[in-house]
Structure 1
């Protein structure tokens, strides 16, 4: 689907891992009167960092006199002002289009960046994709509402790591066993550390098993040679 508006482009840029600072809005040399963005390829699925815009599509009253053809002075300053103003207008668009859920997500992410939840959470949140960050933050909000730490710990891990299994062992001590059928990469470790920091109840211990499941008597699929670890 083609991007039609400046706010649409900034959201797409964030999904691709770009910062707003990486996007530069320029006055389009030629443009359609029926479109706000003027990309080189109309149906491009990637984000161009230098974007040509028709500012008169929605903001005629703001830009009507800024780029008058007879005014050829201060071109560099006007281009800079044009880019800043469009970024500001795009943020207003986004704020007006946000629902309550999106507002809370952005608020909590800003709190994380401000180190409200500690260094480990602030540093490790960058190991997550944007969609994964939303999973974590929404369950943080649910945690404030319900206090269901163990349930939300399980739910978060299962959403982040497909086919993971969590066992609760409470005979002698409060302990969780987590099996993740993926390799133990630094990025995956950081994700698990953050989830533990936020959702693991005080007094609980979690043991993580990567790639190979520990053996369980009576469960043949966990008792295969060269595909088993000891608990």
Structure 2
């Protein structure tokens, strides 16, 4: 990492909020690097980050920390941190394409409760990459309207060993076998995907660790491991 935007993206991937990262004027820095970590090869992300603000933003910061000015250092430090966060967001927006803008727009809409309480309240169970995957499939849903396919695709990306059966002889029904232990976070993920992608005329039954029995499929017919349908 050499840029402030790169560091903020990594911080988000590791679960940090933007406010958790604070930028400081580096005491000693290289004129060829924007970030000035004490250890160049450090793997652990630091929340207090020393920066060379003159690397790309000399015209903005050239007079902020003049050596002869020793007044209001705390205020000037706060201004530096605030402005670098702002500049990093501009950096990120300049590097985004139309799809990435759309993903961020829908994530904001979800957070604003446009998609309803169920979607908003269960979205925090997802990782950053999972959120982007779900939102990308929402965009595909707007384009294609193929709810069943996108429900299957989303579930398989979230639960790699899941199996989905469509049963429509008597009523439209989906049978979803997760293949994992039932947990609060997994339940929230299934609930959100069901809310977004399940057609209104369908019902869905969810099976977690135990598969329902299928005659002729021996792996589903083991004693004490058969779920009732």
TM range (shorter): over 0.9
- Residues in 2 aligned to 1:43 and 1:134: alpha-carbon distance in whole angstroms: 29
| TM-superposed deviation, 1:212 | 1.2
Question: Structure 2, unaligned stretches of length 5 or more?
Answer: none
Alignment of 1:1-231 (within 5 A): 3-231=1-229
RMSD: 0.7
- Residues in 2 aligned to 1:198 and 1:38: alpha-carbon distance in whole angstroms: 44
User: What's the TM-score once normalised by structure 1's chain length?
Assistant: 0.98
Question: Structure 1, unaligned stretches of length 5 or more?
Answer: none
C-alpha offsets along residues 48-100 of structure 1, whole Å, 9 cap, x if unaligned?
11100000100001000000000000001000000000000000000001111
- Residues in 1 aligned to 2:31 and 2:147: alpha-carbon distance in whole angstroms: 54
Runs (4+) of structure 1 exceeding 6 A deviation are: none
| TM-superposed deviation, 1:226 | 2.2
C-alpha offsets along residues 156-177 of structure 1, whole Å, 9 cap, x if unaligned?
0001100100000001001000
| TM-superposed deviation, 1:46 | 2.6
- Residues in 1 aligned to 2:61 and 2:94: alpha-carbon distance in whole angstroms: 21
| TM-superposed deviation, 1:42 | 1.1
| TM-superposed deviation, 1:228 | 1.7
C-alpha offsets along residues 1-22 of structure 1, whole Å, 9 cap, x if unaligned?
xx11000000000000000010
C-alpha offsets along residues 170-189 of structure 1, whole Å, 9 cap, x if unaligned?
01001000001100000000
User: What's the TM-score once normalised by structure 2's chain length?
Assistant: 0.99
